[in-house]
Structure 1
Amino acid sequence: MAQVPQTFLDALAVRTWCGLALRAVGRAREEIDAINVYPVADGDTGTNLYLTLESAATAVEAVFTGYETDPAEPRLADAVRAMAHGALIGARGNSGTILAQLLRGMAQVLAADGPEPRGDGPDLRLALRRAADSARRAVAHPVEGTVLTVASAAADAAEGAEGDCAAVARAAYEGARAALAATPGQLAVLARAGVVDAGGRGLVAVLGALVEACTGEAVRETTGPQEVTGAPEAVAEGCGEGPGGPAFEVIYLLEADDGAVARLRDRLDALGDSLVVVGGDGLWNVHVHVDDAGAAVEAGVEAGRPYRIRITHFGAGDVHTGGPGPAPERAQRAVVAVVPGRGLAGLYAEAGATAVLARPGEPPASGELVAAVRRAHAREIVLLPNDAELRDTAAAAAEQARAEGVRVALIPTRSAVQGIAALAVHEPGRRFDEDVVQMTSAAGATRYAEVVVAEHRSWTTAGICQAGDVLGLIDGDVAVIGADVTATAETVLDRMLQAGGELVTLVVGDEAPETVAGHLETRVRESYLAVDTVVYRGGRQGSLLLIGVE
C-alpha cells in the first residue's frame, strides 16, 4: 500500500523513517563495509551504522508500544528523543557514534522545550543544521571528505529549500549525494582506493529514507561515480591508518557531568586519534583509537562511570567475541598483583599470579613491585595495582622493569575485585595485546565497593560521619553512612545492582560479621534474578567487605 505523503514530521513519520533507514542501510551494508578505508580500513562502517540504527528503531518502537493502551498518540518529541537516545546507547564505531550525534542534534530542535515544534519545513531545516554543527563539534579533529562534510552539505542545501518537510528532505538528500561524490577529491586515501567515504554513503542512505518517509516515494538508489564494491581487503591495501595507526578502538558509555567530559576529551585527545564524544545530560558515548586501551578506560573511570566497554584490536577482530586474527604467539607470561590480605594472596596465587601483599597502612613501594616482577621470571608481565593510590607507584615499577627488557602492561585496577575480574579472563596462551585488552575490559566492567569503619569524625560525600560509623564506599566515594555492617552492606549492594549486573563478588575480611556473606547471598538470590554470587575470604585486608559487580 502506498504511503501517504507528509507535509510535516510527526511521531509516525519518525517511526517510518527509522524503519526505512534501517532497511536502506541493511541493503547497502556490505557495499558500505567494502569501501570502508578511512579512518581505519577495517570494513565495518556499514555494519556499525546498521547496528546503531537498529538500536534507534527499537527505542522508537518501545514508545509506540507504551501508547498501545493510551487513547493519546505519541508526540513528535517522544519519538525523536527515543530515536536519539537509542542511537546513543547503541552507537558502534566511528560512523555510528557520529550518526548518533546527528540524530541528537535533530532531536534538540524537534523536541525543544516550550511549544510543540510543528515538524514542518522550517523546523526540519533548523534540525539538519543543528545536526551537522553538533556532529562536527563532537569530533576532536574534523576532516573534510568524510561524513561530516556530507552532513554539512545536506544542511546547506536544506537551508536554500522552500516548502514543507518533503521539499526540505529532498534538497538535503540531493545536497548530500553531490557532496558524497566529491569526497575522493577531498581525501587522498579515498582517491587512492577509488571510493567515496563510507560513512557519508551511509548518511545518504539515511537521508534517502527520510525523503521516502516524507513523500511516500522511494528515492533512486545510485552510487557515487568512484564507488566500488567487493571485499574490504580489495580496497584496504595501502589505505587508512595501517600499521602506523593506533592498535585499539575503545568505545564506552559514560555517566559524567559536562566539566568532567571536557577534561576527558583533552586526556583522550593526547592518547590517540579519531576521538568522538557525543551525548549530553549526563550520558555520553565515547569513541577513540589508541595504543593504550587501559589508559583510555582509566580516563573514563576518572571522569565518571564507564560501562558497556568495547575494545577492538585492529586486525585481530573483536576481542570480546573472539574475532578472527592471526594465531597467537605463545610466550612466557605472568601476572603480578597487589592484594590487601593473605586470603586474597592465596586466591591470586592459585590463579597463577605473583601476589604482593599490601598490609593496612603499608602500601608497597615501587621496588617491591619490581622485585615481584623479577620473581615472576617472565618476558611479559601484566601488572594489577588494585588500588587507585598505587597507580603512580605501579607505573614507576613498570618503567623500571621495561628498562630491564621486560614487556609490561599496567591495567589500572582500583580494587582487588576488579583484579579478580581481570584474572578470571586471563589466558597466557593468547597474544599479549589481546590478553591485556580482555583483562582491561573485564576490570573496567566491574564496579567496586567496600565497607569500612570510620576511624574519626570527618566530612564525606554522604554527609558527616562519626568515629565508629560504618561507611559504604562505591567506586571510591562514601555513598552510605550506617551503624550496622550488614545493613550498610545490603544498601550498598542494592545501589550497585540498580544499574544491573550478572555476577556479585564478595571478599569478606576477618573482622566482618560471620553472617554478612550469607545474608547478602540470600538478598541477591531472592531479589535479583539471574545474578550469581561468589564469596572469598580475604583475611586481614583492612576492609570489612569488598564488593564487586560485573
Structure 2
Amino acid sequence: MLEALQSVDGAALRRWARVCVDGLASRREEINRLNVFPVPDSDTGTNLLFTMRAAADEARGAVEEASVGEVAAALARGAVAGARGNSGVILSQVLRGIAEIAGAGPLDAESVRGALNEAAVLAAEAISIPVEGTIVTVLRHAAAAADACPRGTDLGGVVSVAAAAAAEALGKTPSQLAALGKAGVVDAGGLGLVVILDALVGVVTGVIPERSDLTVVAVAAPAPEAVEAPTGPPVECDHDAGGQDYEVMYLLGDSDDHRVGALRSRLDELGGSVIIVGDGGGSWSVHVHCADPGAAVEAGLAAGRPRQIRISCFALDAARERPPVPARSAGRAILAVVAGDGAAELFAAEGAAVLRCDEPVTPHQLLAAIRRLGYGEVLVLPNGALPAQELVTVGVAARDENHSVLLLPTSSVVQGLAALAVHDPERVAVDDAFAMSEAAATTRWGSLRVAEERALTLIGTCERGDGLGLLGREVVVIAPDAAEAGRRLLDNVLGVGGELVTLLLGAQVPDGLADLLTDHVAKHHPGVEVLIYPGGQDGDLLQLGVE
C-alpha cells in the first residue's frame, strides 16, 4: 500500500483529475440510468465525464512544475469552458472552489476543508432555485462533514470523511426529491460527485473506497409502463419538464457581476434550471432549460458576448440515444391526448390509445407514448395539448424508416372526436389522416367557463364569477352567469349554420345546465341535434363542437 499523502501538490492534483475521468467513464452508463431530474434525458454521466475531461485536458497544458494553485485554476477554467448540463456546471464549481483556496503551496487537510466549503457556497449561489436531493445537497453534506473533523485530522481522514458523508447523503436523496422517490433512484449528479470524492480519497490514501454494497450504485430506473394500443386503457403521464423543452448553454465574456445578475433574472423569467457560474477569470458559463432558446441567447447578447452556444432539444436527444428501431409492426394506431375520465373513455371506446394528461403534457412524454405503442403507423390527435412548434419537434424525433407518424391538426377534444368518427383503418394512412383532418377542420369548437378573476378580454372586461363563452381560444361572450353565457354562445356559433352540436360536460358543470342548453337549441334552432357526453375535464364547464 502506498504511503498516504499529507498534502496534494500540482502533480497529485493532475493525477486526481485523471482518476476522476477514469472513474466517471467506468460509471457513465450507470449514472445515466439514474437521470430523472430535472429532465429524464439520461445524460448526467456523459455530461460529468465531458466536463471533467475538459478540465483535465486544460490542466495537462500547464507546465510540468506548475503549483497546485496553477493546476487548480486550469482545472476550473477548463471545467467552466467545457461544462455540459446542470451537473457539469456544478462540477465546475467544485473545481473552482479548490482554485479559490489553493495558493502556491500544496493542499493540506485545512485547505481541503476550505475548498469543499467554498465549492458548496459557489454551487449554491450558482442556482437560482435550489432543490434538495441533488448534487448540491450531497456536496453540502460532504463539506459539512469535512469541516466537522477534529482539528489535527490528517488529509486522508478529512477526504475519507467527506466522501463517506457524500455517499450517506446520496442514499437519502430519494426521500428528499419526489421525482427520485417515484422512480426509485438516487440523484445521478450526486452519484457522480461520490465518484469524484472517492477518486480524491484514492489519490491521497492509495485506496479508492469500495461502495458496491450500497444501493446507491445498484439502483436502476424501472422501465416505463407500456401504452396499450389500440384499445388499451388510459395511461397516466409523468409530468417532468414543465414545457421547458430546450437546454441552452453558452460561455459569456465581456460582462460583469451587475449584468450577469440581470441575465440571471431574465433567464428565471424564461425558464428553469438556471445556473450561471464563473471561472474567477472573467468568463461565465450559462445554463437554462426553457421553451424559447432564441430568447435565452438574446438575453446573453444583452449581458455580454456569448460564445460556444449549444442548444439541445430533449425530445431529439432522446431520439438519438434510443436503441436501433424494431421492425415495422402491422396495423395502425390512434393516440389521443385527453384530459378527463369521461373523454378518455370516449376515445378508448372508439379504439384509440389514450395519453392521460390532465396537467400540461410535454413533448418528451408524447414522444415516449408514441414509441411505446409499437405500431408502424401512428396517427396522433394532440387535441390542443401542445403548440405547433413542439408537435413538429416530436414528429421529427418519432419518425424513422420503420415508423410513420402523422400529427393531426386537432385543436380541441371535440375536434379530436370528430376526426376519430371518420377514421378508417382500411385506407392508406395519409388518406385516412386527410379525411380525419378535414373532419376536424370543419368542426367549429368552443367552451364555456366561469371567470376566476377580473380580467380584460377582446370584447371587454369580465368580473369574477361571470360566465365566459369562447370560440376557439377567444372570448366572444361575457354574461352574468354561465347559463346565459351558454345560451348566447350557442346562438353565436349556430348563427352561421350547423346540424349537430356536441357537448362535452366538465367535472364542475352545474346540475341542469346541459338540459337547459338542449332546450334552448330545440326552441331557437329547430332541426339541430344535440349530443351530450360526460367529459370530466377540469377548467371548462363544457366544451362544444358544431358540425
Residues 221 and 407 of structure 1, relative CA distance in 2, 3 Å threshold: closer
Residue in 2 that maps onto 1:106: 98
Residue in 2 that maps onto 1:247: 245
Question: The residue matched to 2:185 in structure 1 has which SS?
Answer: coil
Q: 1:107-122 residue pairs with structure 2 within 5 A? A: 107-111=99-103, 116-122=104-110
Letter in 1 for 2:296: A
Deviations 1:473-510 (A, max 9, x none): xxxxxxxxxxxxxxxxxxxxxxxxxxxxxxxxxxxxxx
Letter in 1 for 2:95: L
Mapped contact 2:9–2:105 kept (Cα < 8 A): no
Q: 1:148 aligns with which of 130, 133, 136?
A: 136
Question: The residue matched to 2:36 in structure 1 has which SS?
Answer: coil
Q: 1:82 aligns with which of 60, 64, 74?
A: 74
C-alpha displacement of 1:243? 5.5
Q: 1:310-459 residue pairs with structure 2 within 5 A? A: 310-317=310-317, 431=393
Deviations 1:75-107 (A, max 9, x none): 111111111111111100110011101211221
C-alpha displacement of 1:325? 11
User: Structure 1 residue 184 and structure 2 residue 182: aligned?
Assistant: no
Mapped contact 2:211–2:217 kept (Cα < 8 A): no
TM-score (normalised: structure 1): 0.55
Deviations 1:209-263 (A, max 9, x none): 0001111112113364366555786599989853633010001111122111111
Residue in 1 that maps onto 2:309: 309
Question: The residue matched to 2:272 in structure 1 has which SS?
Answer: strand
Residue in 2 that maps onto 1:454: none
Residues 317 and 323 of structure 1, relative CA distance in 2, 3 Å threshold: same
Residue in 1 that maps onto 2:206: 216
Question: The residue matched to 1:277 in structure 2 has which SS?
Answer: strand
Residues 312 and 232 of structure 1, relative CA distance in 2, 3 Å threshold: farther
Mapped contact 2:50–2:83 kept (Cα < 8 A): yes
Mapped contact 2:248–2:296 kept (Cα < 8 A): yes
Mapped contact 2:186–2:219 kept (Cα < 8 A): no
Question: The residue matched to 1:254 in structure 2 has which SS?
Answer: strand
Letter in 2 for 1:149: T
Residues 234 and 219 of structure 1, relative CA distance in 2, 3 Å threshold: farther
Residue in 2 that maps onto 1:341: none
Question: The residue matched to 1:274 in structure 2 has which SS?
Answer: strand
Question: The residue matched to 1:42 in structure 2 has which SS?
Answer: coil
Mapped contact 1:150–1:200 kept (Cα < 8 A): yes
Q: Distance in 2 between matches of 1:5 and 1:235?
A: 50
Q: Answer with 1 or 2: which has the greater Rg.
A: 2
Mapped contact 2:183–2:221 kept (Cα < 8 A): no
Mapped contact 2:41–2:317 kept (Cα < 8 A): no
Q: Distance in 1 between matches of 2:276 and 2:5?
A: 34
Q: Distance in 1 between matches of 2:207 and 2:324?
A: 47
Q: Distance in 2 between matches of 1:131 and 1:23?
A: 22
- Deviating 4+ runs (over 4 angstroms): 226-241, 322-327, 406-409, 430-435
Mapped contact 1:8–1:119 kept (Cα < 8 A): yes
Mapped contact 2:163–2:197 kept (Cα < 8 A): yes
Residues 58 and 243 of structure 1, relative CA distance in 2, 3 Å threshold: closer
Residues 94 and 243 of structure 1, relative CA distance in 2, 3 Å threshold: closer
Q: Distance in 2 between matches of 1:290 and 1:158?
A: 36
Mapped contact 1:147–1:203 kept (Cα < 8 A): yes
Residue in 2 that maps onto 1:157: 145
Residue in 1 that maps onto 2:34: 35
TM-score (normalised: structure 2): 0.55
User: Structure 1 residue 281 and structure 2 residue 281: aligned?
Assistant: yes
Residues 238 and 298 of structure 1, relative CA distance in 2, 3 Å threshold: farther
Structure 1 segments unaligned to the other structure (5+ residues): 68-72, 328-405, 410-429, 436-550
Residues 408 and 31 of structure 1, relative CA distance in 2, 3 Å threshold: closer
Letter in 2 for 1:317: D
Mapped contact 2:159–2:197 kept (Cα < 8 A): yes
Q: Distance in 1 between matches of 2:389 and 2:12?
A: 54
Residues 8 and 240 of structure 1, relative CA distance in 2, 3 Å threshold: farther
* Number of aligned residues: 324
Question: The residue matched to 1:119 in structure 2 has which SS?
Answer: coil
Residues 28 and 300 of structure 1, relative CA distance in 2, 3 Å threshold: same
Structure 2 segments unaligned to the other structure (5+ residues): 227-234, 326-386, 398-547
Residue in 1 that maps onto 2:299: 299
Letter in 2 for 1:173: A
Q: Distance in 1 between matches of 2:44 and 2:52?
A: 12
Q: Distance in 2 between matches of 1:251 and 1:6?
A: 38
Q: Distance in 2 between matches of 1:258 and 1:325?
A: 44
Residue in 2 that maps onto 1:137: 125
Mapped contact 1:88–1:100 kept (Cα < 8 A): yes
Residue in 2 that maps onto 1:24: 23
Residues 264 and 200 of structure 1, relative CA distance in 2, 3 Å threshold: same
Aligned-residue sequence identity (percent) comes to 42
Q: Distance in 1 between matches of 2:135 and 2:98?
A: 16
Q: Considering only aligned residues, what root-mean-square deviation do their CA atoms show, in Å?
A: 3.1
Q: Distance in 2 between matches of 1:84 and 1:108?
A: 9
